Amino acid sequence: MKESSRDSFKNSFGVLVAMAGSAVGLGNLWRFPYLLGEHGGAAFIIVYLIAVFFICAPIFIAEFLVGRRAQSDTFGSFKILAPGSGWSIIGVFAIIAVVCILSFYSVVGGWSVQYFCKAVTFDFTRGSSEHLDTLFSGFVSDPYKPIIFHTIFLILTSVIVIAGVRKGIESFTKVMMPVLFLIVILIAIRSVTLPGASEGLNYLFKPDFSKIDSSTLLIALGQAFFSLSIGCGTIITYGSYVKKEASITKCATGTVISDTLFALIAGCAIMPAVFSFGISPGEGPGLVFITLPHIFSQMPLGGVVAILFFATLLLAALTSSISLLEVVVAHLTERHNISRKKAVILSFGLFWVLGALCSLSQGVLSDFKIAGLNIFDLFDYISANIFMLACGFLIVIFVGWKLKGKVIKEELTNNGALKISPMLVSIIIFLIKYIAPLAVITIVLAKFNVF
Ligand code: TRP
């Protein structure tokens, strides 16, 4: 059968690490802190946590199950599980979402490469700290430099993906994830002990619910999708490389918990410092890149910690970008019979052009706007808040109502081989069938003022 000719992860631990590697990335360290800062701190976190556990975790399980059962790419999975039906439209939405995400993701990945280079030359800790405020805006609006670093980031991503699933993705991520955790914890400790950090902690932990409105709900939900890598085929694709013995619930729980913990620790690393250095929490996408160099410049051994931090930020970004690229590459190799190498090269060309446009939209193209958003923000907005949500919604409907409870039970228990409490299985089925789809639809309709 086809299964034997496909690359796969070695064991459950390998799967967990690769999935956590996909989930933990710029979404946690860059996107979560700045959205948190723009949308009201603690209240945003609470909405985010509810979205993660009640809406996104079930979607995660549903995606995983589809991939593992079908053992095919996103598009092909629906063709295998529901032949001759229109469900493969999910695959189309997924590919659109992935293309939008990787385009701007590789630009931010490029920013991380640049900051890593600055850290290595001790740029943040040399001389006075005044230049740190303008460093970021000066760099991103430059027409050439960010594109050069974006290119480097895409090359790194492509090289790992060419190496394949087990040799490339699995072994790379296994080593990097624990290192990343340690460093962020270290920075969080420094950040909460800075003078004036308590204001930041209040901001993180004392909710003000008046700050929540329908667009905050949508943004928190979109962020939960983004951070867990759901709603665009990544988990289906990775799920398809998972052998039949692995436990879906264990891998899913491990990934969801580590990703969420990571986001919260990142919040503790950034927010207290934001307040301590008088930076505005609503600063936007530059927040992390502006705040952290300040922390490093004021920390004993800050220069060394900066190197460690930006090295791991870059690696976290890479373990996620490879999962995005893998969706496109799996699609090209399995649907269109193109070799892995050719598929990567073709994708590289596409993402290089789209990424360059996103990058320029921070500077020379900043006045070019569609629906009030520049290209970078537009790609971000439509992927996280439209295509991924549509995809996630359709996947739970597919799994809950088309595949039905029996299939879900079979997959969660590996045809009865795994002991999982029947109560837990029923709860998961209930969440997949009713809660997740209803919640997604309600939040989207609320945003468009239907109620
Ligand atoms: N989750 C990753 C992060 O937090 C980004 C990512 C990787 C992603 N694969 C994805 C986002 C698939 C959405 C869909 O950085």
Q: How is residue 215 annotated by DSSP? A: H
Of 297, 302, 292, nearest to 272 (Cα)? 292
Query: With pLDDT > 90 as the criterion, what percentage of the chain qualifies?
Result: 56
Q: What are phi and psi of 270, to 5 degrees?
A: -95, -50
Write the single-letter amino acid at 81: L
Give the tens place of pLDDT for each residue, 428-450.
Answer: 999 999 999 999 999 999 888 77
- CA–centroid distance, 321 to ligand 1, in Å, is 7
pLDDT at 5: 54
Which atom of ligand 1 is the closest one to the Cα of 383?
Answer: 13
The pLDDT of residue 267: 94
23-69 pLDDT tens trace: 999 999 999 999 999 998 999 999 999 999 999 999 999 999 999 99
Can you give the pTM of this predicted structure? 0.92
- What's the full length of the chain, in residues? 451
Question: CA 238 to CA 68: how far, in whole Å?
Answer: 8
- Residues 160-183: tens digit of each pLDDT: 888 876 676 677 677 777 888 888
Query: Of 29, 227, 256, which is best to mutate to test ligand 1, by the most ligand atoms within 8 angstroms of its C-beta?
Result: 227
Kindly tell me if the per-residue pLDDT of 4 is higher than 60: no
Whose Cα sits closest to atom 9 in ligand 1? 229
H-type alpha helices, 228-286: 234-239, 248-276
Residue pointed to by tokens 């701190």: 41
The residue whose CA is least distant from atom 6 of ligand 1 is: 229
Q: Residue 370 phi/psi, 5° resolution?
A: -120, 130
Ligand 1 is surrounded, with C-beta below 6 A, by 22-23, 25-28, 101, 226-227, 229, 232, 234, 320, 323-324
pLDDT score for 300: 75
Average pLDDT, the chain: 89
Phi, psi of 373 (to 5 degrees): -120, 140
What percentage of the chain carries pLDDT values higher than 70? Answer: 96
Q: What pLDDT is attached to residue 302?
A: 84
Residue nearest to atom 13 of ligand 1 (CA): 229
Q: What are phi and psi of 195, to 5 degrees?
A: -65, 135
Position 136 scores a pLDDT of 87
Q: How confident is the model over 131-150, as a mean pLDDT?
A: 87
pLDDT at 128 over 70: no
Burial of 399 (0-12, 13-18, 19+ CB in 10 A): buried
pLDDT score at 42: 95
Report which of 381, 341, 317, 328 is spatially closest to residue 106, judged by C-alpha positions: 317
Mean pLDDT confidence for 325-349: 91
Supply the angle between the helices 12-23 and 171-192 in degrees, to the nearest 10: 50
Q: From CA 257, how far away is CA 283, in angstroms rounded?
A: 28
Q: What's the angle, vertex CA 294, arms to CA 291 and CA 297, rounded to 5?
A: 155
Task: Determine the pLDDT at residue 255.
Answer: 94
| 347-380 per-position pLDDT tens digit | 999 999 999 999 999 888 888 999 889 999 999 9
Is it the case that residue 115 has pLDDT exceeding 90? yes
Instruction: Give the whole-angstrom CA distance, residue 241 versus residue 8.
Output: 4
pLDDT band with cut points at 50, 70 and 90 for residue 118: very high
- Is residue 297 scored above 90 in pLDDT? no
CA of 305 to the centre of ligand 1 (A): 25
| CA–centroid distance, residue 21 to ligand 1 (Å) | 9
CA of 25 to the centre of ligand 1 (A): 7
If pLDDT is split at 50, 70 and 90, which confidence band does 3 have?
very low
180: left (phi over 0), alpha (psi -120 to 50) or beta: alpha
**Helix, coil or strand: residue 205:** helix
CA atoms within 13 A on the CB side of 220: 29
pLDDT for the residue 298:
79
Handedness of CA 58, 217, 375, 108 (dihedral sign): negative
Q: Which residue has the higher pLDDT, 158 or 300?
A: 158
pLDDT in tens, 251-269: 999 999 999 999 999 999 9
Half-sphere exposure of 423 (CA within 13 A, CB side): 0
In three-state secondary structure terms, 209 is helix
Ligand 1 centroid, distance to 451 Cα (angstroms): 31
pLDDT of residue 344: 95
- Evaluate whether 119 touches 132 at the Cβ level (below 8 Å): no
